[in-house]
Amino acid sequence: MLAATPQSQAHATTAERASPRDARSHDEVDSARLLRGQREVLIRHGDETYRLRHTRNDKLILTK
């Protein structure tokens, strides 16, 4: 992304100035709902399968 100049910043929309958290979609899915008590779930996206893992350190890792 290019740095905004004072002139271009004046013409930026509210969404462009919003923080990433403010600009995100209102649709959210809780990780507990995806994992359903499991430590790992497979996610199909088109012709690819991804693995979403919940680690012991309470992190999520998505791998192809």
Domains in the chain with CATH codes: 6-63 (2.10.70.10)
User: Which pLDDT does position 24 carry in this prediction?
Assistant: 60
What pLDDT score was predicted for residue 11? 54
pLDDT average, residue stretch 49-56: 97
Predicted confidence (pLDDT) at residue 49 exceeds the cutoff of 80:
yes
Q: Which residues of 21-60 are buried (b: 16+ CB within 10 A; e: fewer)?
A: eeeeeeeeeeeeeeeeeeeeeeeeeeeeeeebebeeeeee
Predicted local distance difference test score (pLDDT) of residue 31: 95
CA atoms of 53 and 45, how far apart (whole Å):
16
> Which range is least confidently modeled, 2-11, 16-25, 46-55?
2-11
Q: Residue 6 above 60 pLDDT?
A: no
How far apart (Å, rounded) are the C-alpha atoms in residues 2 and 22?
Answer: 20
What pLDDT, on the 0 to 100 scale, is given for residue 26?
Answer: 80
